[in-house]
Amino acid sequence: MDHVLHAVGPRLRTLRQQRGATLTELAESTGISISTLSRLESGQRRPTLELLLPLARAHQVSLDELVDAPPTGDPRVQLRSLQRWGSTFIPLSRRPGGLQAFKQVMPPSWPHCEPDPRVHEGYEWLYVLSGRLRLILGEHDVILTPGEVAEFDTHIPHWFGNPGPEPAELLSLFGPQGERLHIRARPTGR
């Protein structure tokens, strides 16, 4: 176990340098002091979970990757669905921070209340797989059908739900800091 913890410091330094970040920038984004970060990177401070979690988020790597946990041998993402507000969310990505991918399954006529547009940090991209999706975005009130996509800054008041009599399935990509998905429409010429 000690050899695993001793290897964390050099890995932290390498990740920071690969990102081109300074200790000052990392301290600002994590809330961890520069001296603590320096001692962690040099191996003079033992890493704790309270220190590693914000560092994993800042470097956009999983905690397993940060501590170089042994591989499990199975590359499949273990999909554990979550039930929230009567809808099913299936995480399709495991990377903390940055863009997150979900499949969402909404029951018929969901939610069972009047639209209540909200705002929050981030940027969202929605792709309808099946069913119908009602999207209220600012002044717009639109119905999306299978194969249609919407993307928007979540600072714009928004709400979406399933107006139809059958379940609606959609893919959702969400960037909590306003990250946008970049889609290449056609291959570039060679």
Instruction: Look at residue 4 in the predicted model and tell me its pLDDT.
Output: 59
The pLDDT value given to residue 77: 60
Q: What separation in angstroms does the CA of 68 have from each of 11, 71, 115, 150?
A: 9, 8, 45, 37
Q: Please, what are the averages of pLDDT over each run of 10 residues along the chain (190 residues)?
A: 70 87 91 93 87 86 73 63 83 73 91 90 92 96 96 93 95 73 51
Q: For 60, which DSSP code? A: T
Q: Report the residue count for the chain.
A: 190
Residue 181's pLDDT is 53
Return the pLDDT at 184. Answer: 45
**C-alpha neighbours within 13 Å on the C-beta side of residue 167:** 11
pLDDT of residue 178: 54
Considering the entire predicted model, what is its pTM?
0.55
CA–CA distance from 87 to each of 35, 105, 162 (Å)? 45, 6, 10
User: How many CA atoms within 13 Å lie on the side-chain side of 73?
Assistant: 0
Whole-number pLDDT of residue 141: 97
pLDDT in the model for residue 185: 47
The string of DSSP codes covering 154-169 is TTS-EEEEB-SSS-EE
pLDDT for the residue 140: 96
